[in-house]
Chains A and B, each alone.
Chain A
Amino acid sequence: MNRFDYVRATTVADALRAKASDSRSRFIAGGTNLLDLMKYDVERPTTVVDITHLPLTDIEDGPDGSLRIGALVSNSRLAYDARVQERFPLLSSAILAGASAQLRNAASTGGNLLQRTRCYYFYDTGTPCNKREPGTGCPAIEGVNRIHAILGTSDKCIATHPSDMCVALAALGATVRVEGPSGERSIAFADFHRLPGDTPQVESTLKPDEIIVSVDLPAADYGPHHTYLKLRDRQSYAFALVSVAAALKMDGGTVAEARIALGGVAHKPWRDESAEALLVGRAAGVDAFAAVADHILAPAVGRSENAFKIGLARKAIIRALSQAAAGTPQSQVDKRVQ
């Protein structure tokens, strides 16, 4: 870990000023990702700007059942907030599928969005990595890539975005509200995270001089027809190999509206609206779900060790949609897959 200055900001303006004054500074919220990266010398900020004292810790009701989640609301508080549990149980479920209770207590909403990939090479400065050091190459493509992406990859990077929470936010069509020197703007969730392309080091459309202030959730009413299904290498405390967030509006046995997003398969939470459209008006059932899965996965590319994810994702999509259609969401307490 390098040496750095520590600055505590108490207002958003303060934080932005501190960030602007040092191009190699980093915000720290829960620190559950940034500190690890600093210990590994992957991040070497000259200034660490503590934003935990910013007034961004509220969950506010908006008009028409929408919700505004402050960037510093912890993952635990968000998951257990009564309004979230009642109106956005999919989000609550996805958060509780992730990390551990201790980490969720520390982790913030904004930090969760901006957490980095878990690609082994990215964390290991003894190896090359285009994301860490652009131009050095991507050893994962020919190396240990069991946990890597199958959708939206490039020949520069095949890393995934590891968040569970973000998969639900993608499905729910959230908006990320950010503030910069020139004021506030909102970014649709689908536009927030980027695909690797030729610049895997640039992971989001947040500009270096901006800060996330909130995540806004539009009203949602899927009743019990939702699920977050996470498949991983042990039954808790492991990142998703494949996860699926699904929410349906049912009209009897027919799907009236569908939201499907995948985690663990791409550089960003993977939502395919054209696949969702395929479901609308169709009778809920394995045939329809399989067609959706095949549509989503048509462009998938497997590598030496992660090709299994394509078949696994197909089955996970079908299972998740079945759970959602039946109104029997996956429990995050009982670890048995339903």
Chain B
Amino acid sequence: MSMTQKYVGTAQRRVDGHAKVTGGARYAAEFAAADLLHGAVVSGAIARGTITKIDTAAAEAVPGVVKVYTHENRPRTAWLDSSYRDDVAPPGHPFRALHSAKIMFSGQPVALVVADDFETATYAASLVEVSYDAEVPKTDLDAQKGQSYDPPKKRSGVEPPPKPRGHAEKAYAAAPVKVQQEYRVAVEHHNPMEPHATTVVWDGDGAITVHDKIQGVTNTQGYVTGVFGLSKDKVRCISPFMGGGFGSGLRPQYQLFLAVLASLDLERSVRVVLTRDQMFTFGHRPLTIQTLSLGAEPDGRLTSIIHDAVQETSHFEDYQENTVNWSGLLYKCDNTKFSYELAKLDTYTPADMRAPGAVLGLYALEAAMDELASATGVDPVELRLRNYIADTDQNTDKKLTSKALRECYTQGAERFGWSKRDARPRSMTDGRELVGWGMATGVWEAMMQKTSARATLTGDGRLEVATASADIGTGTYTILTQLGADALGLRMEDVTARLGDSSLPYSPIEGGSWTAASAGTAVQMACETVREKVFKLARQLDGSPLANQDLDHVTFRDGRIVVTNDPSRSVSLIDAIKSSNEGKVEAEETAAPSTIQARRFVSYTHSAVFVEVKVDEELGVVRVTRVVSAVAAGKILNLKTARSQILGGVVMGIGSALHEESMLDHNIGRFMNHNLGEYHVPVNADIGPIEVIFVDEPDDKASPIGVKGLGEIGIVGTGAAIANAVYHATGVRVRDLPITIDKLQGA
């Protein structure tokens, strides 16, 4: 079928940009409802113990307060844990707000105050008096890691560590060159701009419309129906926009539970918005203590890789992510051994945060590879090329659908000017500052998930493409619009993408960088069916100039179906649609990964990140002055939104390497710097030029449209590249990120 791509593969502005900058885009806390009530959450002060008394009298006495919910008067909800398990829940007992007097983490919601307005609710919430029987919390992973265990139940979607290959310990012992180090990255919170919020609109008759901050309305819908015993037709979820998620919006959070609880009980519309501080009371990137042992020949060829990780989780769930497996995948090595264990802390369950597992695992692996480069005297890029494995995943013995990582190394190095690097640490300077050049590899899974989409051509010649999927800021609206426009030869202005509504065709949560491949394919398929249908209609028109044509010999262009080698013969889409009985042409299709192919192939996105830092050594001040990120991610649908994804990922990687840290007070088990003034993300002054290269990577298996996904790869490897650059500049290895000024104070 000949399909010209006018928009796909080019740089296009966001179709939702105007709505976003003018306030037209509505977020969860911005939906209006008649007689809306406002709920304020009271957060607990202790990390472990029991509520002995909760006095709500003063709050209830405030005029305008409608009701105060605590564990003592909470309306009944589902009994079984399974009813609370959302689509991405790890094994365990999902947290239930106001379930009992038991406190399991600091900041646990202990009451919801519902009032006529936000101010009253907030004020009354400050009057709720809670007394506790406090126990000493255990939140220090170093103290608890001795109690670590192999999680008995594996989290769905997360591969457990692969079985050992060869004899890793023996090979390590015999290796002429050895590197063995411990690495860690501080706990991070996602800190999206938009706080978590839910507006529940009471539609009457037991039906509600839920506007939730979520990376996928189907997860919210499933959770609400399960927990509150409602049927699907009573719960519609509409969340067309999200102000940043980074994984924090994958799982339904407690504000959703509380808002729905109050709405159903009061039979009123209710909104609950968390404060910035409360954003530190649920998921975070887990603290993970990793040990990397590399054995190699003097020429740098790896003979052994041993990667061990102990990661925190909560007492109620076994959160798991894929941290160590990357070390068996990325480089050729015949002797590997991995372990991944959990240790329980009195904190909330950790959560997926942009490239979960990979950010941590690749940091450790790529920092260790840099140490190996130093130990062997092999250039860091050359070291990686010497261990390059072109087409196989040794963990699974499956073939890779494509891997243009070699091109990432060469093109990234070229653009960065890597060949001018003096390998000796401390050898490059700029005035008073030491200059360091470091690099690292990134890798992330390229996945596809079962997703449905609908395409509708209406009588006015416009196309609507629709799926329940979310646009979490990544540009999903835009790429689906591009795909639809190209499939039917329309202008992008004539195409509307609809997302974030549970009444639309099914889509899973937006996460794992799979949405472009999955929703993109589904939209493409639906559009192809519409193409066929509308072509048939056009051919059947009386005296149709297309009468004897087939689809392969026509072109969809400018709202018309044109005979490719005789453009004087054409039919307008509008005329064709008019002839249909419904006055529109519609198709719904479902895209799913091929199971046959999955038996033989796996797919990954790769990157090579090159970083320049300048360090005022005496004072310990580090600046990232230049980054080049070369990415191989299959087909790039939109050069502009794709680049933005990588830029954002790199910036977040800079944050992880230099700034971000949620500081836990182990005496009270509480994260203390719980606001954006004291939890530091990079600001403009911290970011220098970032160059993004997309290397060519044709791939017809990763997904039918050749797309691999880009939401996460930008952050992976960036932390290691920065740490490696800091070493190159200063000769100092800092093995616990972030590299803050105190860690570079030297002797």
Contact = CB atoms under 8 A, between A and B. Distances in A.
Given A143-B665, A308-B742, A319-B619, A236 B684 contact: yes
A241 B740 CA distance: 11
18 contacts: A2-B126, A3-B123, A120-B673, A124-B277, A126-B44, A127-B672, A233-B680, A234-B658, A234-B680, A234-B683, A236-B684, A319-B618, A335-B623, A335-B685, A336-B433, A336-B614, A337-B621, A338-B432
Nearest to A334: B685
B677 interface: yes
A287 interface: no
A143 B45 contact: no
B547 interface: no
Interface stretch (A11-19, A193-201, A247-255, A309-317): A309-317
Nearest to A142: B667
A231 interface: yes
The 6 closest A-B pairs by CB, nearest first: A126-B45, A308-B742, A236-B685, A120-B672, A235-B685, A143-B665
Interface string A217-245: 00000000000000101111111010000
B552 to A, nearest CB: 58
Interface residues of B, number: 43
Interface string A282-315: 0000000000000000000000010010011001
Nearest to B742: A308
A337 B741 contact: no
Contact of B745 (A2, A146, A236, A308): A308
Interface in A101-134: 118, 120-121, 123-124, 126-127
A139 interface: yes
Nearest to A147: B678
Contact of A126 (B43, B677, B678): B43
Interface in B643-676: 658-659, 663-665, 667-668, 670, 672-675
Contacts, number: 101
A143 B671 CA distance: 11
Given A2-B126, A312-B741, A233 B670 contact: no
B545 interface: no
B683 A235 contact: yes
Given A234-B683, A312-B742, 18 more contacts: A2-B126, A3-B123, A120-B663, A120-B674, A127-B45, A142-B667, A147-B678, A231-B619, A231-B621, A234-B658, A235-B623, A236-B684, A236-B686, A237-B685, A239-B677, A241-B741, A336-B433, A338-B432
Contacts of A146: 663, 742
Interface of A: 1-3, 40-41, 118, 120-121, 123-124, 126-127, 139, 142-144, 146-147, 231, 233-239, 241, 305, 308, 311-312, 315-316, 319, 335-338
Contact of A124 (B119, B618, B619, B672): B672
A144 B665 contact: yes
A319 B119 CA distance: 49
Nearest to B743: A308
Interface of B: 43-45, 106-107, 119, 122-123, 126, 277, 432-433, 614, 616, 618-621, 623, 658-659, 663-665, 667-668, 670, 672-675, 677-678, 680, 682-686, 740-742, 745
Contacts of A305: 742
A305 B614 CA distance: 25
A120 B678 contact: yes
B111 to A, nearest CB: 14
A311 B672 contact: no
Nearest to B672: A120
Given A118-B678, A234-B659, A308-B742, A139 B126 contact: no
B670 A126 contact: yes
A43 to B, nearest CB: 12
Contacts of A234: 658-659, 680, 682-683, 685-686
